[in-house]
């Protein structure tokens, strides 16, 4: 597997980080994940803008390769040389404040940020998108800058593992009795016929798929309310779904062991998934992909 590290393309097993890397020592960095479909990067600009915003917030000087053009070239070469231009893939990029003797304050000027990029084959698990998944709720113990896509991900790791141990697909964070998001996706619910999601403030990641879903919902004329869903309203939810770069639209049909709505993916979730598929794959491809498996599930 060819990866990119600090200006070099090299085999992953020879791509090495310093033990002084501030990513390792402090979790001092940001990352992005782009979806790539047959070599075409999905929403490249939005992910790039979010990355730039994160670098600015952390006061990390954007290294020279962090430009749309150069990142596009890096992604293209990694996809090509790893033979991932034909199917689906993800492009991962991580930028940390670089390697320097350990001090909490920033390292000396001129310390080069670490830039690591890799690609991975991605197979959308169509079944979970169509049938829906189980999830659990956990307290949201994360820090108060969840709007930044940093590698401060230990609470996400622990919550996701807790979900997995419980036989669930993901864990939903609850802070101050409000649903925020999941360990690595945005969360949408339908309550009283209105599409609800947490406002894009400091407590949730401004998800790119979240934005796309909101656009699709507007196009569909759905009523939208960007106010968090209170935990006490979970029992009343008509629909609930995850939205993310590798999650697409994934319906949650059971939360903490209790059915959501009828216990099957709802109509709004399904239309938004159909819309997202069009954006991802184009109209014809999406229709073909959706029609086949859906029938088997939604009608029970």
Binding residues (CB under 8 A) for a copy of itself: these are 3, 5, 12, 15-28, 31, 58-59, 92, 94, 96-97, 102, 104-106, 116, 118, 139, 141-145, 150-158, 160-161, 163-164, 183-184
CA 222/CA 140 separation, integer angstroms = 29
CA 35/CA 92 separation, integer angstroms = 9
- Give the CA distances from residue 198 to residues 65, 137, 194, 228, 299, in Å, rounded to whole numbers and listed in that order: 34, 15, 13, 4, 30
CA 180/CA 251 separation, integer angstroms = 16
Tokens at residue 62, please?
Answer: 């954007």
Least distance (Å) between residue 108 CB and a copy of itself? 12
DSSP 62-116: PPTT-SHHHHHHHHHHHHHHTT-SSSEEEEEEEEE--B-S--SSPPPTTPPPEEE
Least distance (Å) between residue 46 CB and a copy of itself? 22
CA 69/CA 133 separation, integer angstroms = 38
Tokens at residue 152, please?
Answer: 């401060």
CA 220/CA 229 separation, integer angstroms = 21
Least distance (Å) between residue 115 CB and a copy of itself? 11
R_g of the chain computed on alpha carbons: 20
CA diameter of the chain? 62
Catalytic residues: 149
Other C-beta atoms closer than 10 Å to the C-beta of 157 total: 11
32: β partners: 93
Least distance (Å) between residue 99 CB and a copy of itself? 10
Least distance (Å) between residue 287 CB and a copy of itself? 32
Least distance (Å) between residue 152 CB and a copy of itself? 5
φ/ψ of residue 184, rounded to 5? -155, 35
Residues 112-124 as b or e (16 or more Cβ within 10 Å = b): ebbbbbbbbebeb
């Amino acid at each position: 597997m060819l990866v990119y590290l600090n200006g070099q393309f090299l085999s992953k097993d020879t791509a090495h980080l310093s033990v002084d890397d501030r990513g390792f020592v402090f979790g001092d960095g940001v990352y992005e994940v782009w979806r790539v479909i047959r070599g075409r990067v999905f929403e490249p600009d939005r992910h790039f803008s979010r990355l730039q915003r994160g670098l600015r917030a952390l006061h990390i000087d954007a290294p020279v390769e962090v430009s749309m053009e150069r990142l596009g070239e890096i992604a293209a070469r990694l996809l090509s040389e790893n033979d991932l231009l034909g199917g689906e893939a993800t492009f991962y990029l991580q930028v940390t404040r670089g390697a320097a003797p350990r001090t909490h304050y920033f390292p000396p000027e001129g310390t080069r940020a670490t830039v690591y990029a890799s690609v991975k084959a991605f197979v959308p698990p169509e079944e979970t998108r169509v049938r829906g998944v189980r999830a659990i709720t956990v307290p949201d113990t994360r820090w108060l800058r969840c709007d930044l896509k940093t590698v401060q991900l230990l609470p996400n790791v622990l919550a996701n593992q807790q979900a997995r141990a419980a036989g669930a697909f993901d864990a939903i964070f609850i802070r101050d009795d409000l649903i925020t998001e999941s360990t690595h996706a945005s969360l949408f619910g339908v309550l009283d016929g209105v599409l609800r999601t947490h406002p894009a403030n400091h407590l949730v990641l401004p998800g790119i798929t979240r934005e796309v879903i909101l656009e699709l919902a507007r196009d569909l004329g759905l009523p939208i309310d960007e106010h968090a869903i209170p935990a006490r309203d979970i029992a009343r939810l008509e629909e609930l779904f995850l939205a993310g770069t590798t999650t697409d639209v994934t319906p949650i049909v059971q939360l903490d062991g209790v059915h959501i709505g009828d216990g099957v993916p709802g109509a709004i979730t399904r239309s938004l998934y159909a819309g997202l598929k069009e954006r991802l794959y184009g109209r014809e491809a999406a229709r073909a992909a959706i029609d086949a498996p859906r029938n088997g599930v939604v009608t029970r």
